[in-house]
Amino acid sequence: MKIDRFENSTNDRILENKIALNITINGRLYSLIIPPTYRLVDLLRKDLELTGTKISCEIGRCGSCSVLMNGNVVNSCLVMAYQANGMVIETIEQVSQENLHPIQQAFLEEGALQCGYCTPGMVIALKSLLDKNNQPTEEEVLDYLCGNLCRCTGYNGILRAVQRYKNESSAIFDNKTLE
């Protein structure tokens, strides 16, 4: 695994007590020296320029900064960077590194996005659900997504995308059993 060294250039003056951490982000191990005040979202957006993770409310209410930490969805605005030390972080950039995830394809087909600012968080939240259970009930979908706000779509397109995903993944499943 490649190790990137990254020295933070800013904050040198007022932040003497920097901290070091090792963190795996999208499959790469980073050794970083960062201000102790940094949240995970700051690390991602400012230092690594992984701007697919968005910031909006910064109090854990909107879900636009959702990332996976050791496979679980977290609001990266509520996780201090040092808390992610030793953890495995997966952001939206990783989800579509090679091909679109089927849920991303379903988002495109069903118009589950408009301005797109909430979309990475939505995809991350859904991916974590679908990884555990690719035929979730409507209740499970609503529970999983009620922490991700979208102001554009009215959520209807997102629900259609999940339905499409479910239909298609069950079709794949059926084909496999036929074989």
Partner 1 sequence: MKLIRDNFQEKWKIRPDGYDKVTGSLKYLTDYSFPGMLYGKVLRSSYPHAKILSISTSKAEQLEGVFAVVTHKDVVGMNRFGLIFPDQPVLCEDVVRYVGDAVAAVAAESEEIADKAIELIEVEYEILEVIDDPETALIDSAVKLHPGGNILHRAGYKSSDDVMSAIDECPFIVEETYETPRQMHAYMETEGGVVVPEADGKITVYAATQHGFKDRMQLARILAMPESDIRVISSPIGGSFGGKDELNIQPYAALLAIKSNRPVKLHNKRIESVKAGIKRHPMKIKMITGAKENGLLVGHFVRITADTGAYATLGPAVLDFAVEHSTGPYRIQNVDIEGISVFTNNGVSGEFRGFGGNQVTFALESQIDRLAEILNIDPLKLREMNIREADDLGPLGQRIVANDGAKNVLEMIKSSPILTTPLKPKDKWRLRGKGAAITMHGGGLGFGRPDPSGARLSLTEEGKIEIAFGFEEFGQGLLATVEILLTDMLGCAKEDVKIVIGDTGIVPASGSSTASRSTNMIWQGINKLKGPWKNKLLNAASRISGVAVETLTLGENGVWEKGEKDKSVITYKELANRLKTELPVCSTQFHFPTTPDAVIGGHYLHTYAAVAVEVEVNQLTGQIKVTKLDHAVAAGPVVNPLGYLGQIEGGAIMGLGFTLFEDSLMENARYHTENFDSYIIPTIRDIPLSTNVYVDESLIENDVFGPRGVGEIGTVAVAPAITAAIHDACGLWVKKLPVSSEEILNALQTTSFSFYKQGVSE
3-state DSSP call for residue 70?
coil
- Which one of the spans 25-33, 91-99, 128-136, 170-178 is the region binding partner 1 (CB under 8 A)? 91-99
User: What is the contact mask toward partner 1 in residues 71 to 90, using x (rule: CB under 8 A)?
Assistant: --------------------
d(CA 146, CA 113): 16
d(CA 177, CA 82): 46
33 lines the binding site for partner 1 (CB under 8 A): no
Among 41, 150, 165, 166, indicate the residue that binds partner 1 (CB under 8 A).
Answer: 150
| CB closer to partner 1, 132 vs 151 | 151
- Which one of the spans 19-27, 68-76, 134-142, 167-175 is the region binding partner 1 (CB under 8 A)? 134-142
Q: Which residues of 17-26 are buried (b: 16+ CB within 10 A; e: fewer)?
A: eebebebbbb
Among 11, 24, 134, 169, indicate the residue that binds partner 1 (CB under 8 A).
Answer: 11
Among 56, 83, 134, 163, indicate the residue that binds partner 1 (CB under 8 A).
Answer: 56
d(CA 13, CA 164): 52
Q: Supply the DSSP symbol for 39.
A: B
Neighbouring residues of 116: CB distance < 8 A, sequence distance ≥ 6 = none
43 lines the binding site for partner 1 (CB under 8 A): no
- Which one of the spans 23-31, 68-76, 81-89, 149-157 is the region binding partner 1 (CB under 8 A)? 149-157
| CB closer to partner 1, 19 vs 159 | 159
Residue with tokens 């499959």: 27
Question: 72: phi > 0 → left, psi -120 to 50 → alpha, else beta; which?
Answer: beta
149 lines the binding site for partner 1 (CB under 8 A): yes
Q: Six-digit token pair at 172?
A: 């794949």
C-alpha Rg value of the chain to the nearest Å: 18
| Contact set with partner 1 (CB under 8 A) | 10-11, 13-15, 35, 37, 45-46, 49, 51-59, 61-62, 64, 91-93, 95-96, 100, 104, 107-109, 111, 113-120, 123, 138, 141-142, 145-159
